[in-house]
Structure 1
C-alpha cells in the first residue's frame, strides 16, 4: 500500500520538475620588464602596462608604469637590445587600448533563489676579462619628463652595484639576470621620472623603445625577483594574431587571451587605415615561474576572441512563484486524492 508520505513526495517532485522546465537554466597591470621604485615610502609600484608592435623586423615597445599612492619621483630599469631608440609614448594610448578590448556586456538572468547561504593583482669601473670595463655609461638623454641613462658593461654584479648606488631598483640577486642581458649584448636603460610641479600618481607618462630584432620579445626576467604575485597584461599588435612561444612561457601558469581581433592602426598608435591584429594576453603568476623573456610568435590561426562580461539580473521572484505554484499544485492534488479516497470508502490506491 502506498503511504500518504510517498504520495506527497511524488506530487512535490512532479511540481518542481515542471517548474524547472518552465524557468530553464540560468542564462593590475603587467609588472614585467621594468622593475620600479617610488621615492616615497607611502607609495608603491602597482605594475606597468605594455604594448608590443611588431612589423616583421622592428619592434616598438611602449610601457607605462603605474604608481599606487603619490611619490615625488620614481626610477626603473628596462632591458633592451643595444641601439634602441627611446622616445616619449603617446598619452592616452592605453586608455584607447582598454576601450578597444573591453568585454562585451551581456545580461544573465537569475531565476532561482539561492538558499545555500554561501557567497558566491657612471661609477668607477671594475676589473673584467680582456680589460673591458665592467660598467659603461654610454649616454644620458632627456625624453619629456624622463631622464634615461644607457648602461652597458661586462660584469652584472658591477652594473647592479652602480644602479643601486645611483638610486635605481637593483638588488644583488638581480646580478645573474643583469649578466645574461649583458652577455647577449643588450643594454640596461635606467629611467628616472621627476614630476613638473605635481606629485606622481596612477598611470605615468608612457615611454617607447624601438629596436631591430629577429623576433618580437617582451623582457620580463627581472620580475623573477619580485616579492609578490605578478599580474601581467600584454597587448601585441602585428599583422596576425600572436601568442607566447611555449618554451618561454612561465611554468604552471595559464595565459588567458582576453581579446583577439583586427583593429585600425590608429588604435595602437600606428597608421590610420592600416589593419592590424591586436591580441591582449593576461596572466597571474608567481615570480618563481618566470624563467625566460617572452618570445612572441604567430598563432596557428587568426581566430577572434571577444571576452563577455555578464551582468546578473535578479529574477528570483519568478522562481519563488514557481515554487509556490508547485506547492499549491501538490496541496490541491493531495486534497483531491484524500476526498476521492474518503468518498469511495476504499483503501489507498495501489
Structure 2
C-alpha cells in the first residue's frame, strides 16, 4: 500500500510538472524554464534542468529571488548564469521555505451534499472515455506515464483513480488541452530516496526599481518551458513582459493574504503564477514584470467535493419527496373514504 507520505510526494510532483498538462505533441516532458538561460556544462558533459520554482519578493527597492533548480548532470562541475539589473549578493536559501509555501497553499476541502443526482446507475458513460496509455517508463525513482486523451472526464477519472489529485486550477485547464489534441505525461515519485542532483535554493538579492524576473535568455531554449513563480507583495499580482503584453499561456493557481502564516516574512500577499511556453523563441518576449491587480480576490484556496446523499443508490431527496407524496395521497384517500362513509 502506498504510504501517505509517498502518495503526497507523488501528488506534488504531478501537480508541479503536469502543469495544466503542458506537454507538447511529442510524449516528452518540457524542460523547466531557466531564467539563467540554461546551465553551462563543461565540454563533453550533459546537464538538464528538471524543475524550476522561484520565490520572488521586493521591499524598499531591494528584490530577493530564491531559485530552486533540480539539476541532473553527468559532471559535478557546471556553470550557472543568472542576469540581474544591478550587482547581486548571492547566498543559499532554505528548502524549508518552499515546503512552508507548499503547506500554506494547500487548498481547503469543502464538501457539498447532493441529495438529488442519480449516480452509478447507468451504463457508466458519464465517466467519459479513459485515456490511452502510450508508454510507461521508470526513470530512477520517477514513474512517467504518457497518455493520449480524447475525453476530459475520462482523463480526470483516470488521474483520480491513480492518486493524481491535481489542484482545481490545473483540472480546469485540462479540457482546453484535450480539445487541442495534446498529450499528457503523469509523473509519480515511486522511490523513497531523494532525486539525484537536487540543489539547495540559491538566493539572489539586488536593487531594482520594480519587481522583475529575468527570463529573456530562455528564448534560446529549444524545448517547451514551464515555470512556477511564488510572488510576494502587498497585493495580488499579475504578470507581463517588460514593455510588452501578458504571456499567452499563464494562470494564477493560488492567491490570498498570508499575514499570520509561516511565510508572512516574505510579504503580505502571495500570488502563485504558472507559465508555459510551447515555443520559447517566439513566445518569450523579454523579462517578466509584475503589477497589482484591480482586486485582491483569492483563488485556489479551496476545492469543492460533491458528496452524494443516497440510500441503495437512490438520492435521499427523491426518497423523502416520494414518501411525502405517498403520505399526502394516502391521507387524501383516507379522508375521502371517511367522508364517503359518513354521507
2:240 and 2:286 map into 1 onto residues whose CA distance is: 11
Aligned to 1:217: 212
Aligned to 1:201: 196
Aligned to 1:291: 285
Aligned to 2:256: 260
Q: Deviation at 1:218?
A: 0.5
1:46 and 1:111 map into 2 onto residues whose CA distance is: 44
Equivalences for residues 98-247 of structure 1 within 5 A: 98-107=102-111, 111-113=118-120, 115-116=124-125, 118-119=128-129, 201=196, 203-245=198-240, 247=243
Change (3 A) 1:103 1:200: closer
1:80 and 1:208 map into 2 onto residues whose CA distance is: 12
2:98 corresponds to which of 79, 94, 97: 94
Q: Does 1:33 align with 2:35?
A: yes
Q: Does 1:45 align with 2:49?
A: yes
Aligned to 1:85: 89
Q: Do the aligned partners of 2:40 and 2:81 also contact (CA within 8 Å) in 1?
A: no
Change (3 A) 1:48 1:74: farther
Change (3 A) 1:32 1:69: closer
Q: Which runs of 5+ in 2 are unaligned?
A: 1-15, 18-31, 131-193, 323-343
Tell me the TM-score normalised to structure 2 length. 0.52
Aligned to 1:280: 272
Q: Deviation at 1:81?
A: 2.1
1:319 and 1:285 map into 2 onto residues whose CA distance is: 49
Tell me the TM-score normalised to structure 1 length. 0.51
Aligned residues: 217
2:111 and 2:72 map into 1 onto residues whose CA distance is: 33
**Higher mean C-alpha deviation, range 290-299 or range 102-111:** 102-111
Aligned to 1:75: 79
Q: Deviations over 1:266-313 (max 9, x none)?
A: 51654xxxx611111112222231101111112222222233345576
Coordinate RMSD, CA, aligned? 3.8
Q: Do the aligned partners of 1:37 and 1:45 also contact (CA within 8 Å) in 2?
A: no
